[in-house]
Structure 1
Amino acid sequence: MARPGKKRARAASGVRGGSRNEEPGEGGADEAVAFIAEQVAVLRKLAERHKLDVLHYLLGMTKLEADEHLRLRSKRKLS
């Protein structure tokens, strides 16, 4: 157990270049956002089916945010 106020040192990943959060073999941020949007849509339907209104709303907002991120990224790539 770590002592309060002390941060643990992170192990070096050994991967050079690319995104610092990207593991070898993973897609980039756009692929992650697309995956999240897809999964959130499924969870949103589940929340709706069980009348979990607040979760349904929050998951809808998450889906909108993911879609907007993808739209803006694709718009920048076209420029």
Structure 2
Amino acid sequence: MSKAAGGRKRKASGKKPESPTEGREERGEEGGPDEAVAFIAETVAELVKLAERHRLEVLSHLLGMAQLEAEDRLRTRSKRKLS
């Protein structure tokens, strides 16, 4: 896949990250699969809202499926850890 037009990146705001996964990439902390899935679920949820706000139905649906998959993996991984 190619980059989005303009190659926009988020600028550092200087404020503390809102979640445990936010800002790790900039600090060189990658984390494991659990952190990756949590980050993906959180990010895709924001993208779903954006797609819905702009009435992008198919994109919203596909992103929603990705969100469900990520959340399912989070639940599955947490159940395995409890065993």
TM-score, normalised via structure 2 length? 0.65
- Report sequence identity in percent: 71
Aligned counterpart in structure 2 of residue 72 of structure 1, from 60, 76, 80: 76
Q: How does 1:4-19 map to 2 (within 5 A)?
A: none
Deviation, structure 1 residue 64: 0.3
- Alpha-carbon RMSD across the aligned residues, in angstroms, is 1.1
Structure 2 unaligned segments of length 5 or more: list them: 1-27
Instruction: Choose between structure 1 and 2: higher helix proportion.
Output: 2
Distance 1:72 1:39 in 2: 19
Could you list the runs of 4 or more consecutive aligned residues of structure 1 that deviate by over 2 angstroms after TM superposition?
A: none
Q: CA deviation at 1:25?
A: 3.2
Gaps of 5+ in 1: 1-23
TM-score by length of 1: 0.68
How many residues are treated as equivalent by the alignment? Answer: 56
Name the residue aligned to 2:46. Answer: 42
- Residue 37 of structure 2: aligned partner: 33
